[in-house]
Amino acid sequence: MQKLTFEEKIYTYHIDFVGHVNNIIYIQWMENGRVKLLEAMGIPAHDLAHFEGVVPILTETTIKYKKPFFLNNEVHIECWISKLNNASAIMEFRFLNEKNELCASGQQKGLFINKKTMRPSRLNEKHRKAFEKFLIEG
């Protein structure tokens, strides 16, 4: 349906000894994207855990690096859901520079678990509808 888009800044401490953005920073940007995506859905992670007893956890992260980011680059990030199951989801990420060139793409698989039992927890209808706003299958 729609993608969440946002920008990130590149700071000097993001740069590794080779002179480009360190690989771990992409994972931090993905974390920011997940938080922003849940907020855009109207189900912030804190509320999900605190009021509903459900916590999202990651089971897998993959990143494909195409082109490096440097200190003077702009970082434009797109985030959406590519697959929605009963108790899990797959999130997609694209990292573009100021020239709209694809610098990296990533995917994370997340699982929703019950905070008390630590077992998978099915999404309720309200959460499913919230996720479907950002579902672009394919």
Per-residue pLDDT tens digits for 63-88:
999 999 999 999 999 999 999 999 99
Given pLDDT bands bounded at 50, 70 and 90, which one contains residue 52? confident
Its domain, for residue 57, covers 4-132
Contact criterion met (CB below 8 Å) for 4 and 40: yes
Given pLDDT bands bounded at 50, 70 and 90, which one contains residue 130? very high
Rounded distance between C-alpha atoms, residue 115 and residue 53, angstroms: 5
Strand 102-114 and strand 4-8: pairing? Answer: unpaired
pTM of the model: 0.94
Given pLDDT bands bounded at 50, 70 and 90, which one contains residue 47? confident
Give the count of domains, the chain.
1
The pLDDT value given to residue 120:
96
Q: What number of other Cβ atoms are within 10 A of residue 2's Cβ? A: 10
Q: Is residue 10 part of a domain?
A: yes
Contact criterion met (CB below 8 Å) for 122 and 87: yes
Q: Is residue 138 part of a domain?
A: no
CATH code where residue 37 lies: 3.10.129.10
